[in-house]
Amino acid sequence: MGQGTNSTAKKRDGFSSSFGVLAATLGSAVGLGNIWKFPSLTGAHGGAGFLLVYLLSTLLIGLPVMIAEITLGRKAKANPITALQTLAPSALPWWLIGASGVAAAFLILSFYSEVVAWVFAYVAKALGGSILSSSPEVTQSAFSALISDPLQSLLWQWGVLAFIGGILLCGVTKGIEAITKKLMPLLFLLLLLLGAVSLSLEGARAGLAFLFSPQFDKISASVVLTAMGLAFFKLSIGMGTMMTYGSYFRDDQNIPATAFRVMSADLCVSLLAGIAIFPAVFTFGFEPSSGPSLVFITIPAVFSQIPLGHGLMVVFFVLTAIAATGAMLSLMEVPVVILHERFGLARGKATLLTLMLLIVAGSGAALSHSTLAEFTVWNMSLFDLADYLSSNVLLPAGGIFIALFVGWSWGLDRFRQAVSNQGRLSNAALANVIFFLLRYVSPLLILIVMLRGLGLI
Ligand code: PFF
């Protein structure tokens, strides 16, 4: 592997303003996870009770790991592999965390890009009005027609990848930061609009009750673990994404405060998405299903019955596409910056190579509902397998090792120095608490998530 010193000798691209840092990082956290995973999991697993467990997981695991990743990235000002190589005081191969992050990025992108492809296809279909029907049978067959057509699936996926690649070609400041600064406020506005409309409908009370009424009896051990897994996915942690974005942070940025803001704003988006979806779903007597069927089958049928529903459906799919764009940018940036800095490829070439690799890696998931529908590994389609392996193996494992690296190898002094911006912020007590969580609490809790995810306990 080359060190790519020539290409990194000139000033490294990065986020130029505090708002840019926040928009880009939040852009990574906010994604498809907010629109379908979070609201339906919360509703199905005990409303406010699940929310409480999710919050605890976020505070005890998510935030410390996120702060650790960003801090390491900013300290090293390099991609995750180089960052861990430079920062590791011992000869242990901590850089493997970065390498497994690249594998996780490819795995997640292979199925995530396909769902994002459906979202973009649905923006077009919503605009054209072809999915306007109050009958779930009709919206179901429209969805099946899309996903079982191999050519359409592939073309939409390639289109999405090219779109995201195009933004990445413009760089970190002019690409990622510039676009997320515009998209994030728009996302909030559109969500507020949809939430207000949905709350004005008859079924608002039932929808909110589904989301928020506390049913503590539904909280089993496995539900606690689901909430923790969701925290990983939601905050984009455990695979070097936040380390990569951390390397673009400014030196005067308050990392714990930024991470807390990102976590809170991400939670707001998730709650608003639930408020926009469930009152409407209950108003028209639909089942609050989860996963793709909620977004691609139930939502079109629901919006088709609301006054101005056609326009609102366009709004819904546009905002989902916006949410997905920020997340995709951060996922793709991980391999791009590694190819750029480790292999000395110019950023443009690194982006194009990533794009080509993703077209190959993603085609399995893209075709898993058509040509490869019969092809299964461990009883899972390629699509589900990529989802399963990344969420249940790679992200938690990455999280454990990041926490262990900071807690046991990097050490308290270095961590405190870096988190306090070399002593300019007086947050030593906070740094101590975060360090304690990273050293003892987070790795243990994550280990439980992982063992449960693999069905070992
Ligand atoms: N946080 C994104 C979501 O909630 O949809 C998904 C994601 C993005 C996971 C980036 C991991 C990542 F590195």
Q: What is the pLDDT of residues 44-62, one digit of tens each?
A: 888 888 999 899 999 999 9
Residue 93 token pair: 């191969």
Contact 166, 344 (CB under 8 A): no
Give me the pLDDT at residue 89, please.
Answer: 86
Average pLDDT of span 297-308: 89
308-330 pLDDT per residue, tens = 999 999 999 999 999 999 999 99
Give me the pLDDT at residue 1, please.
Answer: 41
Greater model confidence, 392 or 300: 300
Give me the pLDDT at residue 314, please.
Answer: 95
- The helix (run of H) or strand (run of E) holding residue 395 is helix 395-404
Give me the pLDDT at residue 3, please.
Answer: 43
Q: Residue 334 pLDDT more than 90?
A: yes
Q: How far is the CA of 203 from the centre of ligand 1 (A)?
A: 31
String of b and e for 16-32 (b: at least 16 CB within 10 Å)?
beeebbbbbbbbbbbbb
Q: Residue 423 pLDDT more than 50?
A: yes
Average pLDDT of span 119-134: 93
Ligand 1 within 6 A of 327 CB?
yes
Q: Domain 2-453 adopts which CATH fold?
A: Hydantoin permease (1.10.4160)
DSSP 8-state code for residue 11: P
Contact 110, 117 (CB under 8 A): no
Ligand 1 nearest-atom number relative to CA 266: 4
The domain locations on the chain are 2-453
Average pLDDT of span 109-132: 92
Greater model confidence, 266 or 289: 266
The residues that bridge with 380 in the sheet, in sequence order, are 377
Ligand 1 nearest-atom number relative to CA 233: 9
Average pLDDT of span 112-116: 92
Give me the pLDDT at residue 7, please.
Answer: 44
Q: Which residue has the least CA distance to atom 11 on ligand 1?
A: 236
Q: What is the Cα–Cα distance from 400 to 99, expressed in whole angstroms? A: 15
Residue 14, classed as helix, strand or coil, is coil
Q: How far is the CA of 202 from the CAs of 18, 198, 208, 334, in angstroms?
A: 41, 9, 11, 45
Residue of 25, 26, 28, 41 best suited for mutating to test ligand 1, as the one with most atoms within 8 Å of CB: 28
Average pLDDT of span 337-345: 96
Choose among 183, 211, 193, 203: nearest CA to 290.
Answer: 211
Give me the pLDDT at residue 388, please.
Answer: 76
Ligand 1 nearest-atom number relative to CA 242: 13
Q: What is the Cα–Cα distance from 337 to 339, expressed in whole angstroms? A: 5
HSE (side-chain half, CA atoms, 13 Å) at 12 = 21
Residue 384 token pair: 């589900």
User: Is the pTM value of this prediction over 0.85?
Assistant: yes
77-91 pLDDT per residue, tens = 999 999 999 999 888
